[in-house]
Amino acid sequence: MKRRNFLLSGSASLATAGLTACGGGGGDYGQFDAALPETGALRSTGPVDAASGGAITAAPGESDVHAPSRAVKQAGTATPTASVRYPFGARLAPYSAGILPSQNVWTMDDLLRRQYDAWKAARVVPVGWIAPGGYAVQSSQWNTLTVSEAMGYGMLLTVLFAGHDPNARSIFDGLLAVVRARPAWAVTPHYAGGKYLMDWKLAANGSSMGQGWNALDGDLDIALALLMADKQWGSSGGWNYLQEAKNTIEAIKSWNVKADGTMEGLANRSHNRTSDYMTGHFRAFKAATGDGLWDKAVDRAYWLTNHLQNSFSAGVGLMPDFVMNADSGWPIPSTGYIGDGNDKEGYFWWNACRNPWRFASDYVLSGDWRIQQVTGRMIDFFQRTSGGDPMRIGTGYALDGRLLAGGNSGAYHGPICAGACTDARFQGFLDAMWNWNATHLTTGYYDSEIQLLSMVVASGNWWTPAGSFGSGGGTVTDGQQQTAPQQPAPAPAGGNVLANGDFASGMANWENWGNAWVAAGALNVGTGAGGAAQQVGGKLAAGTRYQLTGTANITGAGEGVYVGIKLMDQWGGVLVDQLQAVSSQSPTGVSISFTAPQGAASGYVFVWKNASGVVGVVDNLSLAPAGSGGTTSQPAPAAPATGGSELLVNGNFASGMGNWENWGNSWVSGGVLNVGTGAGGVAQNIAGKITAGRKYQVGITGHLTAPSEGVFVGVKLMNSWGGVLVEQLQLVNSLTPASASIAFTAPQGATSGYVFVWKNANGALALVQKLSLVAVG
C-alpha cells in the first residue's frame, strides 16, 4: 500500500484550462514504516550538523524534572541576539490558550534541538546545480528530489530553530533559492503571479515532475515561513523576505482562494483538501496584508470542518482527506480519486492526519473557541478509543470511527500530541502522546517533519508573525531603517512599584495568564495551569537594587507555585530572569533580589503554577528598592558571611573538569572553564550540602569572547518526586571578567539539586574563572 500517492493531475486539456494540480507529499514508501530506510538517493554533504547515533535522550540531570509547564511564561532556554531575534527556546510569543506537557522546558528543548539536528543531517541536501547555494528537503522516493510541501516544512523548521542552528539562515536562503528557481510554470501562462508559486514536485535531477502545477499546502507554508524570516532576521539582506512573502500570499489568493474564502487546491476547483485549512496561516496573512479575504478564509474553514464533523462523523469528530463541492452549501467527503488518486480520500487518512497539528498551532495563539471545538472532537475520539494509550492509535480511520489501518506513525501521533494541547481535559493524554513521540522519533520524510513541527507546537515554541511584522515592528520595505524605541523614563526609586500587589482590588492591574482569580483578598491559581503578571517596564531605575517579596502557599502536596521577575532589552533579550518556587501548605515568604540593569525596556512580575491537584495562593506582592546597588547590568555579589565555607568542589577548575558533570561542549583550559560556540555547560550536584532554612549565595566570575546573549549561572533544587522548589538563574554578558550572584534560602524537602552553567549556541565562547556556593546566613 502507498502512504500517499503523488498525483500527476492535469493533462493537455487541463493545462489549457489553467487548472491546478493537487500536489501533495508523503511518498511511495511502506505505509506502516515509522523510521524509514534510506533509498540510496542523494545524501547530504553540505554544512549540516551530524547527529549523534542512538536514541534521543534528555539532557543530563533533567529527566523527570518538572518546571512550569506554561513555558511561554517562564525562563526559556534561549534569548535574542542582534542577528537572531527569536531564537529557538526563547518563547517570546505567549500562548493565549491551551496547555503544555508536564515536562521541564530544558528537557523538551534539548530533545527537539537534537532531533532537528538529526532531521537536518538526514533530509537537507545541497543542490547547487538548481540554484547557487541551493538546498532541498529530500523525499524518500528514489526518483524524487523533493516536493513543495517538503520545502515548506524545511523553511518552517530552519526559521524556528535559528539561534540553535548557526547555519539556519543560509539553509533557509538556499531552500528559498530553489523554490524561486522552480516556479509553477504551468500556472504562469494563465496568471503571471505563478512565478511566486512552486512547481509541486521535482525529479531527482531537479527537473519538473509535477507538470508545472503548484500544491497549495506547500505554498501556504512557504509564505508563512517567509513572514517568520522577516521577523527573525529582517528583510535588508540578500532576500527581502517580507516582499517575497507578500508576493506568494497574493499569488495564493489569486490562484487558490475563492471570493468567499474557500480554498481551491485541486484540478476541479470545487473540490479541496481539509489539510489546506490552515487557519493560523490565514490570520498571519491578514496581519501582513490587511486583506479581509483571509478573515473569510478562517470562517469558511471552520464552517467546512464543523459541517463535515457533524454531518458525516457525528459523535466521532473526524474529517476526510478530500472534500467534494467544497464551495457549495452541502460539501461531502470525497468518493475517491479526485486528489491523491486512491479510494481512501473520503477517510481520515494521510492528509487529514495533519489537521490536529494545524488547528492546534492556530488555537494556542488565537484562542479561537471554534478551532478548539473542532480539534477537541478529534482528540476526544482518539483519547476515548485508545483508552489513553498511544500504541492503540492506528494510521487510518473511516469517518464513523472504524480503524482501517494499524501501526503507529509520527505523522499521526505528532499532530494528535499537538491537538491535545487545546484543552486541560487532555493533560494526561497529552503527556502520554508527548512521551510516545519523544521515544519514537524518526528521520524519514513526511513523518519526521510533521512530528517535529507538532512537537514544537506542543512544547510552547511555536510562533507566527501575526500582528508584528518587519524588523522590530511595522511593515518594512527594502532598505527601510528602523529607529530604536525610546527607553522609558524610570519611575521614582522609592516605594512599591506594583499596583494592587495585595489584590484588594481583585485582578485590577494584573494580566490573567489563565485559571487565576482573587478570593478573600489573595490571588488564587486553580488546579489547571495558569497565573498572572504585571508589567514593570519603565518603573525601575537602572543600577538600583530591588527586592520582590510576598507570601505564597499551595493547598495540598504538590510541585508548588512560582513567583518571578523577568526583564528584557528593546529586542527582547533577557537581562534578568529569576523565579522562586513555594511548595509549603502554609503561607511562606518569597524574596528575590536583583539589580535593575541598564537597557531594560520591558518586563513583568509574574505568578505561575503548573496543572496539578492543588490551588496556588499568592498575596502581598511588593517590588521595592532594597538599597543602593552597582551601576552595571550584573548584581554585585554580596560578601560571604564570616566563616562561610565553600560548598562546591573544584569551583576554580584547578583540577580540570573534576567533580563537574559535562552537559556538552565544555572543557577546562588554563584553569578556566570554556563553553564553546555550540550549546553546552556544566553542573555539580549539591544534594546533602545545604541546610533547610539557611541562606546561600551562588557566585560566578566570567565573561564572553564576543557580543552575544550571555552565559547563565543557576541553581535548581527539587523534592523527592522531582518537583522544583528553587530555580533561579542569572545572566552574564560582559566581555571582561564580571561577577554575578544569586541569593536563595534552602527550602524544606529539597532532596536533590545542582549548581549549573549553561550557554546557548552562538558565536561566542563563555569563559568562567570561578563558581562558588557559600552560606551567607
Helix boundaries (H) for 74-197 = 105-123, 148-160, 168-181
Q: Which residues contact 553 (CB under 8 A, 6 or more apart)?
A: 561, 582, 584, 585, 586, 587, 588, 616, 617
How far apart CA 336 and CA 524 sit, in angstroms, is 54
**Which of helix, strand or coil describes residue 668?**
strand
Which pLDDT belongs to residue 543?
83
Q: Is 295 a catalytic residue?
A: no
R_g over Cα of the chain:
26
* The predicted structure's pLDDT at residue 513: 77
Residue 627, pLDDT score: 54
Closest CA to 636 of 548, 545, 567: 545
Q: Cell numbers at residue 711, please?
A: 552565559
The SS3 assignment for 145 reads strand
- Helices 279-289 and 216-233 cross at an angle (nearest 10°) of 50
pLDDT at 479 over 70: no
- CA distance linking residue 221 with residue 157, whole number of Å: 11
CA atoms within 13 A on the CB side of 147: 32
Going by the DSSP 8-state scheme, the letter that residue 403 receives in this structure is B
Mean pLDDT is lowest, of 123-137, 266-280, 345-359, 687-701, for: 687-701
Give φ, ψ of 104 to 5 degrees: -70, 135
Residue 721, pLDDT score: 65
Average pLDDT for 163-182: 96
Residue 350 DSSP SS3: coil
Going by C-alpha positions, the residue among 568, 764, 606 that lies closest to residue 92 is 568
For 534-546, how does the pLDDT look when each residue is reduced to its tens digit (9 = 90+)?
Answer: 989 889 988 888 8
Beta bridge partners of 183: 198
Helix or strand run (H / E) with residue 685: strand 680-685
Per annotation, catalytic residue among 49, 165, 217, 569? 217
Q: Which of residues 730 and 211 earns the better pLDDT score?
A: 211
Q: How many other β-carbons are positioned within 10 Å of the β-carbon of residue 489?
A: 8
Q: Long-range contact list for 487-493, CB < 8 A, 24+ apart? A: 487/570, 487/599, 487/601, 488/537, 488/538, 488/601, 489/538, 490/538, 490/539, 490/540, 490/541, 490/542, 491/538, 491/539, 491/540, 491/541, 492/541, 493/541, 493/544, 493/625
Q: What burial letters (b/e) apply to 63-72, b meaning 16+ CB within 10 Å? A: eebbbbbbbb
At residue 759 the predicted structure's pLDDT band, cuts being 50, 70 and 90, is confident
Reply yes or no on whether the pLDDT at 207 is more than 50. Answer: yes
Residue 677 confidence (pLDDT): 86
Mean pLDDT of 561-588: 79
Q: Which of 49, 109, 149, 230 is catalytic?
A: 149
Region at 88 (left for phi over 0; alpha for psi -120 to 50; beta for the rest):
beta
Model confidence pLDDT, tens digit, residues 63-107: 222 223 332 333 455 544 447 888 898 888 778 899 999 988 878
Predicted structure pTM score: 0.59
* Crossing angle of the two packed helices 427-438 and 369-386, in degrees rounded to 10: 70
pLDDT of residue 723: 65
DSSP classification of residue 20? P
- Give ∠ CA 158-220-256 in degrees, rounded to 5: 160
Q: What is the pLDDT of residues 653-707, one digit of tens each?
A: 998 999 998 888 899 888 899 999 888 899 999 988 999 889 899 999 999 888 8
pLDDT in tens, 390-405: 999 999 999 999 999 9
Q: What percent of the chain has pLDDT over 70?
A: 82
Residue 217 known to be catalytic: yes
Give me the mean pLDDT over the 509-518 stretch: 84
pLDDT at 470 over 70: no
pLDDT digits (tens, 9 = 90+) for 576-615: 777 788 888 888 888 888 888 887 878 889 998 887 889 9
- Residue 47 is predicted with a pLDDT of 27
Average per-residue pLDDT in the chain? 82
Q: Give the SS3 label for residue 517.
A: strand
Q: Looking at per-residue confidence, does 476 or 338 come out higher?
A: 338
Q: Which of the 8 DSSP states describes residue 446?
A: T
Q: What is the pLDDT of residue 30?
A: 29
